[in-house]
Structure 1
Amino acid sequence: MIDLHLVGIGTGNPDHLTRAAIRALNGADLILLPRKGTEKADLADLRRQICDAVLERPVRVVEFDLPRRASDRPYLGAVAEWHDAIAQCWCAAVDAHMPQGGHVALMVWGDPSLYDSSLRIAERLGAAGLPLRTHVVPGITSLQVLTAAHAIPLNRLGAPVTITTGRRLRDGGWPDGVQTLAVMLDSGGAFEVLKPDGLHIWWGAYVGMAEEVLIAGALGDVAAEIVETRARLRAAHGWIMDIYLLQRFD
């Protein structure tokens, strides 16, 4: 039996790990650590730093190369193929390093429940016949860290919040009946499709990390600054994680 622990690690700051996350990592027999290529080597380094910071006993850490998602095919089909390939990587690593079963841990950015596909990939392992129990250790999300960094509430008084992706915002525009919109996984500047009148934005890159950069203001005043800053930071670091909150005040 494989006990798979999906451990939310927040935005990569070891101070944001919960006690439950630290216990799960220390209780693992094997920690799988994905590599995303040389341009995103910092992401693997952050996971290694977390291990160095919180592990209190020797735990085997095995790295594997994360497959790339095809960019020349329809999005949902390409994502499904990508998840299949990642599941095969997980299976291969477990078979090679823990054939008798035990506890496997994977560190997940933010929380495994919010715009992360680790749970969907784990389902593939079970469907393939691997004797698997999945455990989730919740983590701090970048949305929580963003609102804390700007010292703002997430919602307007008595009002709901819609969480979406940059892709959906770019394709569909502002959703009807929405006052507050949290946007994740934006490849860059999806808010440029919006009419800025009455919109305010709170944007953050690398939130909760030493590299954190924050910009806030009326969308029409700061949109160009955000786009320029994002491009500069991505060029400097080779990767970027950013998120933003939009509110309509008209």
Structure 2
Amino acid sequence: MNIDLCLVGIGTGNPDHVTRQGVQALNAADLILVPRKGAGKADLAELRLQLCGALVTNPATQVVGFDMPVRDADDPDYPAAVHRWHDAIAEVWLATIRTHLPAGGRVALLVWGDPSLYDSTLRIAERLAVQLPLKVSVVPGITALQALTAAHAIALNDINAPVTITTGRQLRDHGWPPSADTVAVMLDGACAFQHLVPEGITIWWGAYLGMPQQLCIAGPLAEVGERIQAERQAARAAHGWIMDTYLMRRG
């Protein structure tokens, strides 16, 4: 049972974010796996299904959903909890592939944004390689940071200046990264910027980037920080989920 697994970056929800290479990879697949993350996030699976409906024209391609395991959010050992979660996801992938593609073949997974940037799909795929002959390929997609800077019509960096990309957890626990002027923050479920001294910081925030419900707020952190928190909370309550990211710059 040999498996060719292709991870296809699909951008941030807009079908036009999927490249021609991505469309070709989806249509070449024998099986496309679509994760279901529970009733509160049913829209995420539906968006993937809509993308498949719009882009997949090969009648032989199977599109199959699977129930996504849930990470133990109460475990104080975050790295260990993530490793166990990834193990569980890999087992579900393996079981689903064996059920629907017992003789092997080509499998595709749709990855939000790009598999290279704060996404664990490649790490989970490594676990499958231990249990079956596996070849992994990646089709890059538009990242959340590309969509964010485009939505605000700004450059990611200042002239000849570096950019630090970090997570909300790191920003909350360790503060502003040393020697950084520009900081891009991802995976922030609790608005970690509220723990910073806001003076002198400009923020560009965006949610549902590239989608009809896109939200964008920009300005001095001291002036717009509370508004971002309020709009984020309201949007999450309205949709049951939210994907957002932001860029901050000092000076």
In 2, the alpha carbon distance for the partners of 1:80 and 1:40 equals 22
Q: Which residue of 2 aligns with 1:96?
A: 99
Aligned-residue CA RMSD (Å): 0.6
Amino acid across the alignment from 1:116: D
Distance, in Å, in 1 between the alignment partners of 2:198 and 2:74 is 32
Structure 1 residue aligned with 2:240: 238
- Counterpart for residue 215 of structure 2: 213
1:182 paired to 2:181: no
Shift of 1:244: 0.2
- Matched residues in 1 for 2:206 and 2:63: separation? 31
- Describe the SS at the equivalent of 1:163: strand
Q: Distance in 1 between matches of 2:195 and 2:10?
A: 32
Q: Is the 8 A contact 1:188 1:230 kept in 2?
A: no
Q: Do 1:34 and 1:64's aligned partners in 2 also have CA atoms closer than 8 Å?
A: yes
User: 1:117, CA displacement in angstroms?
Assistant: 0.3
Provide the TM-score with structure 1 as the length reference: 0.98
Shift of 1:99: 1.1
- Give unmatched runs, 5+ long, in structure 1: none
Instruction: Find the partner of 1:140 among 123, 139, 142.
Output: 142
Q: Percent identity?
A: 62
Quote the offset at 1:46 in angstroms. Answer: 0.3
Partner of 1:81: 84
Question: Which of structure 1's runs of 4+ aligned residues deviate more than 2 A?
Answer: none
Give per-residue Cα distances to partners, 1:15-59, cap 9 Å, x unaligned.
Answer: 110001000000000000000000000000100110011011211
Q: 1:1-250 alignment to 2 at 5 Å?
A: 1-58=2-59, 59-73=61-75, 74-127=77-130, 129-249=131-251
Q: CA deviation at 1:188?
A: 2.0
Offset, 1:71 = 1.2
Task: Provide Cα deviations, 1:89-135, integer angstroms capped at 9, x if missing partner.
Answer: 000011101011100000000000100000000000112x3100000
Q: CA deviation at 1:140?
A: 0.3
Number of aligned residues: 248
- In the alignment, the residues of structure 1 paired with residue 116 and residue 180 of structure 2 have an alpha-carbon distance, to the nearest angstrom, of 23
Distance in structure 2 (CA, Å) of the matches to 1:189 and 1:5: 33
Counterpart CA distance in 2 for 1:215 and 1:188 is 17
Partners of 2:47 and 2:74 lie apart in 1 by 30
Which whole-Å CA distance do the structure 2 matches of 1:31 and 1:163 have between them?
31
Q: Structure 1 CA distance, aligned partners of 2:53 and 2:102? A: 26
Amino acid at match of 2:235: L
Q: Give the SS at the match of 2:90.
A: helix
Amino acid aligned to 1:21: G
